[in-house]
Amino acid sequence: MSLVSGNPGRAESGGVSDVGEPSWRRRAVSRSLTAARSRAEDRVQRFVDAAFSLIDERGTTDFTIQEVIDRSRQSLRAFYQHFDGKDELLLALFEETVSESAEDIRQVVESETKPLERLHAFTIRLHYWCEPEVRPRRRGSHNRRPIMEFTLQLVANHPERVKAAIAPVSNMLLALLDEAVAAGVIETADTRRAAALVQQTVLSSWLGNRLAHNPRTRVTAEETWQFCLHGLQGQPRRS
């Protein structure tokens, strides 16, 4: 006699046939996937560290994939398991740099309490990250100048990836502008548009400073901030 009503050859929904896989199997598979992920992350980090090491030594991104492989003591096969090529690796270095900058900018901003001072701190620090010194300021940090200089090529070839990478910084600026508007310390009808203008001004100052041969003519972080804060404040000519 069937234990369930109906056709003895079928098990109703919710019966024995719907019992999931044993929990031991799920645990074993999960453990295996976790171990594989950990090994993959370790391999990727070794490639990234090797590339940063080469950049620190040479002050340029002019290195070969084979040099990265040799420095990381891994194989060509392992490299192409994780990266499509050198551009993909450089994108990873760029994303690492932006991630580091976002955390650094956040800490500087959070050290201030007033909305306008927080916005000022953000702009100054972003300028610093866009115009890094040849030698990093703090121990353990990499030479970021070659990565920033390569950004123009990355923007041309991988615009969506670059946009996604800098999104945390862009969103932070937007939030600071919203905060400043709410506090009544700045006026703007469109904070999203204002955020784009501020960010583009800071980024453009980096490019302009590359073209200035005389260091005294280069735009400083404070000058960039003052321009962003006050704008041109021009008066339209009367007809």
Task: For residue 19, give both structure tokens.
Answer: 């019992």
Q: Containing H/E element for 166? A: helix 159-183
pLDDT-flagged residues of the chain (< 70): 1-21, 24-25, 27-29, 31-32, 132-144, 232-239
User: Counting beta carbons within 10 angstroms of the beta carbon of residue 85, is it exposed (0 to 12), middle (13 to 18) or buried (19 or more)?
Assistant: exposed
Residue type, 35: A
Q: What is the domain partition of the chain in residue ranges?
A: 25-83, 85-239
Instruction: Give every CB contact of residue 61 below 8 A, 6+ residues apart in sequence.
Output: 55, 90, 146, 147, 149, 150
pLDDT of residue 141: 62
Specify whether the CB–CB gap between 63 and 46 falls below 8 A: no
Domains 25-83 and 85-239 share a fold: no
Please report, for residues 116, 197, 237, the alpha-carbon distance to residue 99 in angstroms, rounded to integers and kept in the order given. Answer: 24, 22, 45
pLDDT at residue 113, as a whole number: 94
Q: What is the pLDDT of residues 179-230, one digit of tens each?
A: 999 999 998 889 999 999 999 899 888 777 777 778 788 888 899 999 988 8
Q: How far apart are CA 65 and CA 85, in angstroms?
A: 8
Q: What is the pLDDT of residue 19?
A: 55
Q: How far apart are CA 65 and CA 131, in angstroms?
A: 27
Tallying the residues shown for the chain, one arrives at 239
Quote the pLDDT of residue 9: 47
Report yes or no: 180 and 116 within 8 Å, Cβ to Cβ.
yes
- CATH hierarchy code of domain 85-239: 1.10.357.10
pTM of the model: 0.74
Q: How far is CA 20 from the centre of its chain?
A: 41
Domain 25-83 has CATH 1.10.10: yes
> What torsion, rounded to 10 degrees, do the Cα atoms 188, 194, 198, 203 define?
-170
Q: How many C-beta neighbours within 10 Å does residue 63 have?
A: 20
